[in-house]
Structure 1
Amino acid sequence: MTTILVTGGTGTLGRLVTERLRADGHEVRVLSRRTQPYAVDLRAGGAGLDAAVAGVETVVHCASTPKGGDEEAARNLIAAARRAGVGHLVYISIVGVDQVPLGYYRTKLAVERLVEESGLGWTTLRTTQFHDLLVTLCASLGRLPVLAVPAGVADQPVEAAEVAEQLVELALAAPAGRVPDLAGPEVHGLDSLARAWLRATGRRRPVVRVPLFGKAYRAFRAGCHLAPDRALGKVTFEDHLTRRFGTGHDH
């Protein structure tokens, strides 16, 4: 069995990837800022990162944050992986990073390019947004008396567990470069998804579609973050809500 390092291994996706790999009998090292014995801030690099990567055949890079620092983290990880002779670097990205002019998307695209130019064997998978992210967004917006969503924007959320399964398959295979996108099974307007969340959580709020402005909003309205031809996910947003909240009682 191979030794695999999962960065961001305590996060929504990384935890699921780690669980699946360990269930298959692989030795998995979890790298995050606070988890011993590989508590490493990727943005800082250093001896701790070299120790985490030593003897590893494959790295699954799930660590990411919209708060900044992803490019620096990727550079440090790639440099350490080169020094350790890592054979395969697997990176998770987002559908539309090359079309939506949003700061975080631009950063993800920049990291994709660093991975491609790393000199390592590499695989990059882009997916649509996770159901979990949409639930978090709705919960944040739902604190107000009115739940406002961007007008004319749809989403195609995918189950994180299905993404994890795909990442594990890719990590255990040979480097494949940029692989086909993975998207959720259904495309729905954000207003429809917000109403589904309200029903599932037993909340009552008017849902209001608010027109926004700017290039990123136009790209989202145009569906640049969607992949209807890659709707391979099986779990719908309604399925996810039912599993998470039951059938609509107060929470």
Structure 2
Amino acid sequence: MTTILVTGGTGTLGRPVVERLRADGHEVRALGPGARPHAVELREGGPALDAAVAGADTVVHCAGAPRGEEEGAAHLIAAARRAGVGHLVLVSVVGAGRVPLGPYQSRRAVERLVEESGLGWTVLRATRAHDVLASFFERRARPPVMLLPAGVREQPVEAAEVAGRLAALAVGAPAGRVPDMGGPEVRPVESLARAYLRATARHRPLLSLPLPGRAYRGFREGEHLAPRQAVGRRTFEEYLTARFGPRIETGRQD
């Protein structure tokens, strides 16, 4: 039986990783806010983090943070080295290092820390999850007009499917950078926004606007997409139906 530590183990992605691994008979420790006895803040490091990592064969790093992500990863890697962890699995994002936007650049920096850690490592990049896009649309739907970036496509993937892939990687040997994982469809952001509005019974006119800057150009050019790795199965409509109920009309209206 393998002992596996999952950072972010109480989050949208980490929780199903924990559940999948436990169902397969592994000893799993969840680390994150509210995770007892390992409610550890990665940015602080220290003895509590060392205690959580001690005795773990594998660490799956699912935790993310708007600030201090690199610092937290550095603390985790140092603790993993001290504990003699044999395998560090990192979930990253498609477009890391290519899209010139803070979170994408930060995630690439974390990848580099993992690659240079001296530990056995595996990195899986995935496209943005369904719930991330749903949260984006929820914010955009608050005003009377829904403003969207023109010319952008998205490829949302089901978080539980990414979790399943991470769980499988965690019990395997270190594999380095593995193929990206994308959702089943690459679609204009307007199409996905309309699906969200139908699912939530909202009525908003859409206004697509071009935006300035290199980051927007990266999104417009699809640097955050993985069309050749469209291995996800659950569509955005299926996710919305499960979350909000069967309000979506039959067929897409793109």
Interval of TM-score (by shorter of Structure 1 and Structure 2): over 0.9
Task: Name 2:3's counterpart in structure 1.
Answer: 3
Q: How many residues align?
A: 248
Matches within 5 A, 1:213-232: 213-232=212-231
Task: Name 1:115's counterpart in structure 2.
Answer: 114
Matches within 5 A, 1:237-248: 237-248=236-247
Matches within 5 A, 1:5-154: 5-65=5-65, 67-154=66-153
Q: CA deviation at 1:208?
A: 1.1
- Asked if 1:155 is matched to 2:154, the reply is yes
Task: Name 1:194's counterpart in structure 2.
Answer: 193
Identity of aligned residues (%): 65
| Structure 2 contact 121–174 (Cα < 8 Å) conserved | yes
TM-score, normalization by structure 1: 0.97
Q: Cα RMSD over matched residues? A: 0.9
Matched to 1:82, the amino acid is: R
Q: Any runs of at least 4 consecutive aligned residues in structure 1 with deviations exceeding 4 A, and if so which?
A: none
Give the distance between the partners of 1:228 and 1:239, measured in 2 at CA: 19
Give the distance between the partners of 1:33 and 1:71, measured in 2 at CA: 18
Q: CA deviation at 1:50?
A: 0.4
Q: CA deviation at 1:243?
A: 1.3
- Asked if 1:236 is matched to 2:241, the reply is no
Give the distance between the partners of 2:98 and 2:79, measured in 1 at CA: 30
Q: CA deviation at 1:34?
A: 3.3
What per-residue deviation string (whole Å, max 9, x for no partner) do you get for residues 155-212 of structure 1?
0000001100000000000000000000001011111100000001111111110111
Give the distance between the partners of 1:47 and 1:247, measured in 2 at CA: 48
Q: CA deviation at 1:68?
A: 1.1
Q: CA deviation at 1:25?
A: 1.2
Give the distance between the partners of 1:9 and 1:169, measured in 2 at CA: 16
What per-residue deviation string (whole Å, max 9, x for no partner) do you get for residues 207-250 of structure 1?
1101111000000000010110000001111111111112228x
Task: Name 2:210's counterpart in structure 1.
Answer: 211
Gaps of 5+ in 2: 249-254
Gaps of 5+ in 1: none
What per-residue deviation string (whole Å, max 9, x for no partner) do you get for residues 14-53 of structure 1?
0010110111111110111332211111001000000000
Give the distance between the partners of 1:35 and 1:60, measured in 2 at CA: 15
Give the distance between the partners of 2:79 and 2:225, measured in 1 at CA: 34
Give the distance between the partners of 1:232 and 1:33, measured in 2 at CA: 31
Matched to 1:97, the amino acid is: A
Matched to 1:241, the amino acid is: L
Matched to 1:2, the amino acid is: T
Matched to 1:224, the amino acid is: E
Q: CA deviation at 1:93?
A: 0.3
Give the distance between the partners of 2:69 and 2:244, measured in 1 at CA: 33
Q: CA deviation at 1:122?
A: 0.3
TM-score, normalization by structure 2: 0.96
Give the distance between the partners of 1:22 and 1:145, measured in 2 at CA: 45
Give the distance between the partners of 1:34 and 1:169, measured in 2 at CA: 25
Q: CA deviation at 1:5?
A: 0.3
Give the distance between the partners of 1:149 and 1:35, measured in 2 at CA: 37
